[in-house]
Structure 1
Amino acid sequence: MEIEFATEADYTYIADRDQHIAKALIASKIREKEIFMLRDSSEVIGRMRYGYLWDNTPFMNLIWLDEPYRGKGYGKETVLHWEQLMRQQGYPTAMTSTQSNEDAQHFYRKLGYKDAGCLMQENDPMEILFTKKL
């Protein structure tokens, strides 16, 4: 698997599949190198997107692998790649979250993320916040 920063050529792919980001933000996140494309040969198999909570803490907003590529270590490889990049840039901590009804919470805990609280929004499952010292 190759992990590469998204380029303008990836815009349509991202816009068509990522329903959790405003279309108006995709181009700027590509320019700021805040989206990774995950590829097997030249085929896109997933993506990872991040930003910054409080403008100073890297926050992984989304990691997605297409179904046939799950459970093969690609997600872990991607998260560790991102963490290393954030560490190199001098960030001491990274964060992410997932809803309480999603299995991703177990994935993050296996990678060393610690429960840091929750967010409760009306009509949505509880959002669990995670932190990890880099």
Structure 2
Amino acid sequence: MRIDWATERDYNYLVERDHHLLERLIMSKINAKEIYILREAEDSNIGFMRYSYFWDNTPFMNLIWIDELYRGKGIGEQVVTFWAKEMKQQGCELLMTSTLATEDAQHFYRKLGFKDAGCLLLDNEPLEIILTKSI
């Protein structure tokens, strides 16, 4: 498995899978180098990880997507570890992410060393758990 920056050629792959990001923002995220593409081979995408910055200075992982066939093989852990190392090299000391209390992802993040840091409660939505990790 290889981790690369997303490029224009990954646009359609991302549009088909990332339903949480407005389509008009995908190219700006690609250009800002805030999306990693996970590849099995040169032209075989198997997933992606997208992040942004909370308070404009704290890396915040927005989404990890692994194609169904490749789930449960440690790929998510590999990309989070890769991202953490990249952010540390850039001088960051803290990572953030969040997940709904109804999602199993919270256990994945805790296994990777993320700690509960608070929550957000919106009308008619499950509790959003905020997690942080010192790097």
Same fold, TM-score > 0.5, yes or no: yes
TM-score in terms of structure 2 length: 0.97
1:9 maps to what in 2?
A: 9
Letter matched to residue 49 of structure 1: R
Cα distance in 2 for residues equivalent to 1:67 and 1:128: 24
The percentage of aligned residue pairs carrying the same residue is: 59
* Count of aligned pairs between the two proteins: 134
Pairing 1:30–2:62 present:
no
Pairing 1:131–2:132 present:
yes
Cα distance in 2 for residues equivalent to 1:86 and 1:77: 14
Cα shift at 1:43: 1.3
1:104 maps to what in 2?
A: 105
- Let me know the Cα RMSD of the aligned residues: 0.7
1:46 maps to what in 2?
A: 47
Cα distance in 1 for residues equivalent to 2:125 and 2:3: 32
Q: Which runs of 4+ in 1 moved over 4 A?
A: none
TM-score in terms of structure 1 length: 0.97
1:121 maps to what in 2?
A: 122
Structure 2 segments unaligned to the other structure (5+ residues): none
Report the secondary structure of 1:55's partner residue: coil
Structure 1 segments unaligned to the other structure (5+ residues): none
Letter matched to residue 48 of structure 2: R
Cα distance in 2 for residues equivalent to 1:68 and 1:95: 27
1:56 maps to what in 2?
A: 57
Cα distance in 2 for residues equivalent to 1:69 and 1:17: 15
Report the secondary structure of 2:15's partner residue: helix
